[in-house]
Structure 1
Amino acid sequence: MPSKPLLSQHPELSAVRVYMIGLALGCSTGVDFWASAMMGVAGTHIRGGVHASPEDFLWTLTSYAAAAVVANLMLRRLAHDISYRGFTMAGLVIAAAGAALCALSRNPLELALARAVQGFGAGGLFAASRIIIQLAAAREERRPLFIGFNIGSMGLPAAAPWITAQLVENAEWQMVFVLQAGIALATLLFVVLTYPPRLTVTLAPWDVDYHAMDWVTVILFGAGALTLLHGLGDLRFYELANSPSVAFTPIAGIALFAAGMVYLRRHPDPWLNPKLLLGRRFLIGLSFYAIYYLLNGLWTYVISTMLQNGMGFTFQTTGTVLTTTSLLGFAAAAAFTFWGTSLPGSRRYIALGYLIFAMAAWLLSQRMMPGASLEVILPVLVLQNLTLPFVLMLVAGLTWAEFSVDDFAHGYQFKNIVRQIASAAGTGLASLWLQYDEAIARTQLVAHVTPFEFQQGIDPAELARLSRLIDQQATLIGTANLLMLLAGACCVIAIVAVSQRALK
């Protein structure tokens, strides 16, 4: 007796093929995650390669994110003409071309433009993959696809920090982008070989009527994203007290976004339908999504800074630590895929996740001391990564429970736009806090250095050593204070999560 097919819409697909499709979906998502993770780890070396100031290099980060916002905005409309399968293939080609252009860049402007191309290609792949899962399988049929999807989207990018560290230490910075281009092309081949055929006739990308598209929405959201993200990034370079005008840039970005939403609300056939985004469950779920991505951007920035500038770990050791903890987080996510999808009282488990997050932040704040060993730091970082199923995956399962397949695309487009902005906001807030707190700590530490400590004269080598020690201590003090604040914030979020009856 033949076994029941895993996907009722595609009974011709074997079980192995279904799992491979899920893996291909995850790998396409991973192309975006690979690019972001590698850029975060190797950013300093790439900046030196193109001779960019920190302010100039910021454009390479914000141009990618802003282009990704535009890609997510255009996703559903383009997929209507070329299918989500076609959108994924086109996105992978564009992402590979953008990565290749990054490798050929010789100055900050060229790199920023190339990163925009890469972001436009890769930025919509996450949403496209999730929508394909929603379209291809009924709710009870999605687990086989999610198994492969989680391996590709979380397991493979977890290796990015370690691989990036090896590339930077043993090759030129351009190899980071050469590898990204290779990953995109390999994923494209994987998609071609595994994705099921289109169920309906579609257009080729070059046959789409681009002139008829809603370019007003593209301009408002694209300009709003670039302005907002760059304004948030600028917070790490300027002090609000001395340069209050820096606050106007993110405000202008928010105003452009608001204008875009008003325009879409009045549009007869909007690319992103605001009316579908006002459900209570979705808005609460979206808020928890935004909190997670904001805290994730904050945590990633703080941990990388703490390991290298505070603890004095080498670049390779930092990459190894980040990869190890990410892999353990992936293991927790995989376990949740098999056994955790039917947890009772889900909002209580979301609260539990944030309490664990708070504990990890508090424990780490108590271990901020020069010379602390990896054995002291690693268990706490692992503890934080184990919160992933609670603070993200449970939220994902609850947020979309009431969405129809057609409305899911609108909601997921907007969710990924929020993801880009919240991650940038988290990084900006972390850098702003450390900038202020390190400056205060450095001033206090320097005040304790007196001329009596240099009775035999000021030795330049000793003075340099003392300066490095003060900078290291200031980083550790600023990090500890931020982690204590983060622990308190996570406790508050846990209390709020328990009270949200819409998430049950």
Structure 2
Amino acid sequence: MMKLGFDKWVVVLTVTTAALLQTIDSSIVNVTLNQMMGNLGASLGDISWVVTGYAAASAVMITMSGWLSAKLGRRNYFAASIILFTIASVFCGTSTNVWELVFFRVVQGIGGGGLLTTAQSILIQTFPKEDLGIANAIFGMGVIIGPSIGPTLGGYITDNLSWNWVFYINIPFGILATVLTYMFIKEPEEKMTAGKMDWLALVLLTMGIGGLQIILEKGQEKDWFDSGFIVGMSIAAAVGLIGFIWRELAVKLPILDLSLLRRRRFAVGTLFNFILGFGLFASVFIIPVFCQTILGFTASQTGLLLMPGSIMTGMMMPVVGGLLRKNYISPVWYAAIGFLLFFGFSYDLSAISLSAGPDYFFWPLIIRGIGMGMIFIPLTTITLSDLKSVEIPQGSALTNMVRQLGGTFGTAIMTTYISTRSVLHLSRLSDNVSIYNPFSADRIRQYTGLFLSKGDALMTATRKAYGLMQGGVMKQAMVMTYADSFLIIGGFFLICVPLLLLFTGKKIEAPAHVDIAME
């Protein structure tokens, strides 16, 4: 058994840095899209492929990372992913047109997709089980905090530098992570087996994941199944996913070992990783949009708003890791408390109003941060607890891919819900705006008098009064819509708590690992 030393914590630093590169880049560009559109002369539809291309490529590579780790060697594949990600970041920053940027974002996604899963398997196979909770806690900070600080960092860079620096900032961290990888990360003693590249499976996987990603990212914009493009992508995604599942179950050495799902705990844990991704990304998406579009916060203000909750998550990670090491209670109970806290956060924000200021969000986001900190590490421990050491890269690849898909589903579903629900609330509220409603009639008279006092003619003042009234109604409809959205996300977590009982059975222990001599 290797002693706890400096080299091990350098491994943690290395893999966490790599994980942060991937998770931050999944959200950092969102607040820079407007500046990119102006500088590159692109439309909103064109520039959205900057996000979609990265997400689709990353999802495919997450799925393949277990096979590639076995084929190339874990350290070699991890280092190659960092190098490719860093080089692609350089070319993204120097792009002169939108399609050049989209191409290099796809390349960046290919590199980024290999980082997260490989990083997690390195930790699990490096640390003895009594130290694994702390190691996963530090790594989890990168996974959970990354999507939260991405918009903050992106907003600050955009306001003070330019959109190009959103990509250039990756360069020093990528170089550092590459050097540390070759210096401190070792290959496991127990080698994984990989067969030949299954090109048919790769094509089917790309069709399935890529098509599904495009449907979820572009469906709302294209009016879903009224669009021939979305219908075509749906057929391609269905054929690709069904064909890939069939292929992986039929071959002896698959790219992604779906037979792991026959183990109950791993299958249930994979489901909960989807739920975690749904809640994490959906809430990170909703809060910035609501604060900036409805409450008028700047990008920097919104980022600072999210920071305390992210810090709380980071503080909770080592605490939960230490408690798991003491083995006081089952990890299932920590996860249950985390799910309930997340519901509490969502329920609190479901009472949001137009008068809400930054202080209103502080405690709900602190509660969310504590909840996320209590979910991630126990869920990882439970999910991978029954896997053998050589199965962990494949298991990590599958759970990370499912978590990312959960995030994509959450964002897409909430986007669609907000669009449709706001129309319903607007219609209901607008029915009350008439001269026959004493409250609205009085408000319209006040607005009309205000415009008359500024010199407008009666007809002009009346038209402006109705416009101002309708604008207020629209804002209130959006507030009600976002309040409903928070409640739905929280309710989704609440109803999943009883499903944690599916984890019951034999005592849960940390995943099997390989002790590696670090000199």
Aligned residues: 485
Alpha-carbon shift at residue 499 of structure 1 (Å)? 5.4
Q: Does 1:132 align with 2:125?
A: no
CA contact (8 A) 2:67 2:256 kept: no
8 Å contact kept, 2:92–2:101: yes
Greater Cα shift, 88-97 or 451-460: 451-460
Tell me whether 1:496 sits opposite 2:499 in the alignment: yes
Kept in 2, the 8 Å contact 1:30–1:154? The answer is no
Partner of 1:6: 3
Residues 1:266 and 2:250 are matched in the alignment: yes
Q: How does 1:95-494 map to 2 (within 5 A)?
A: 95-143=85-133, 145-146=135-136, 148-150=138-140, 153=143, 159-193=149-183, 195-198=184-187, 213-240=197-224, 246=230, 249-250=233-234, 252-341=236-325, 342-366=327-351, 368-450=352-434, 453=444, 454=448, 456-459=458-461, 466=469, 468-494=471-497
Distance in structure 1 (CA, Å) of the matches to 2:167 and 2:467: 36
For 1:395, give the aligned amino acid: L
Q: Is the 8 A contact 1:25 1:152 kept in 2?
A: no
Deviation at 1:216, TM superposition (A): 1.5
C-alpha distance in 2, partners of 1:149/1:336? 13
Per-residue CA distance 1:364-405 (angstroms, 9 max, x = gap): 111x21131211222112111211133322111111111001
Q: Which residue identity lines up with residue 176 of structure 1 in the other structure? A: V
Partner amino acid, structure 2, of 1:6 = K
Q: 1:159 to 1:492 in 2, by over 3 A?
A: closer
Q: Distance in 1 between matches of 2:264 and 2:315?
A: 32
State the Cα deviation string for residues 228-266 of structure 1 (Å, max 9, x = none): 011012233244585598466346414311201111211
> In the superposition, relative to structure 1, how do residues 248 and 344 fare at CA in structure 2: closer, same or farther (>3 Å)?
farther
5+ unaligned residues in a row in structure 2: which ranges?
A: 436-440, 450-457, 509-519
How many angstroms apart in 1 are the aligned matches of 2:486 and 2:141?
30
Distance in 1 separating the partners of 2:296 and 2:290? 8
CA distance in 1, matches of 2:402, 2:409: 10
Q: Which amino acid aligns with 1:54?
A: L
What is the distance in 2 between the residues matched to 1:222 and 1:241?
A: 21
CA distance in 2: counterparts of 1:282 and 1:106, whole angstroms: 45
Shift of 1:270: 1.5
Q: CA deviation at 1:150?
A: 4.3
Q: Which amino acid aligns with 1:489?
A: F
> Would the aligned equivalents of 2:84 and 2:111 in 1 still touch at CA under 8 Å?
yes
Separation (CA, whole Å) in 2 of partners of 1:466 and 1:171 = 39
Identity %: 19
Secondary structure in structure 2 of the residue aligned to 1:277: helix
Contact 2:75 2:182 in 1 (8 A): no
Partner of 2:18: 28
Distance 1:36 1:474, change over 3 A: same
- Structure 1's unaligned 5+ residue stretches are 8-14, 203-208
Instruction: Give the CA deviation at 1:305.
Output: 1.3
RMSD: 3.0
CA offset at residue 310 of structure 1?
Answer: 2.1
Change in 2 beyond 3 A, CA 1:129/1:111: same
2:453 corresponds in structure 1 to: none
Letter in 2 for 1:140: E
User: Which residue, out of 36, 42, 61, partners 2:51?
Assistant: 61
The Cα of 1:334 is off from its aligned counterpart by: 2.3
**52-61 or 227-236: which moved more?**
52-61
2:490 and 2:258 map into 1 onto residues whose CA distance is 34
> What displacement does 1:79 show?
2.4
Given the superposition, is the C-alpha separation of residues 29 and 351 from structure 1 closer, same or farther in structure 2, using an over 3 Å criterion? Answer: same
Residue 11 (structure 1) aligns with: none
Residues 158 and 489 (structure 1 numbering): CA distance in 2 closer, same or farther, change over 3 Å?
A: closer
What's the TM-score, normalizing by structure 1? 0.87
Distance (whole Å) between structure 1 residues aligned to residue 225 and residue 393 of structure 2 = 42
Equivalent pair of 1:21/1:148 in contact (CA under 8 Å)? no
Deviation at residue 416 of structure 1 after TM alignment? 1.9
SS of the residue aligned with 2:504? coil
Counterpart of 2:13 in 1: which secondary structure?
helix
Instruction: Give CA-to-partner distance per residue, 1:186-242, whole Å, 9 cap, x none.
Output: 32233344x24447899xxxxxx99x5222221111121111011012233244585
Distance 2:382 2:492 in 1: 22
Question: CA separation of 1:167/1:490 partners in 2, compared to 1, >3 Å: closer, same or farther?
Answer: same
* Structure-2 separation of matches of 1:156 and 1:301: 13
Q: Rate the CA distance shift 1:240–1:67 in 2: closer, same or farther, 3 A.
A: closer
In structure 2, C-alpha distance between the alignment counterparts of 1:335 and 1:247, rounded to whole Å: 48
Report the 3-state secondary structure (helix = DSSP H, G, I; strand = E; otherwise coil) of the residue aligned with 2:169: helix
Distance 2:161 2:407 in 1: 29
Deviations 1:158-199 (A, max 9, x none): 644332221111121111111133432332233344x24447
Instruction: Please give the alpha-carbon distance, in whole angstroms, between the structure 2 residues aligned to 1:200 and 1:495.
Output: 40
Q: CA deviation at 1:127?
A: 0.8
Write the distance in 2 (CA, Å) between the matches of 1:335 and 1:27.
Answer: 21
Higher mean C-alpha displacement, 369-378 vs 278-287: 369-378
Deviations 1:107-131 (A, max 9, x none): 3322221111001001111111111
TM-score by length of 2: 0.85
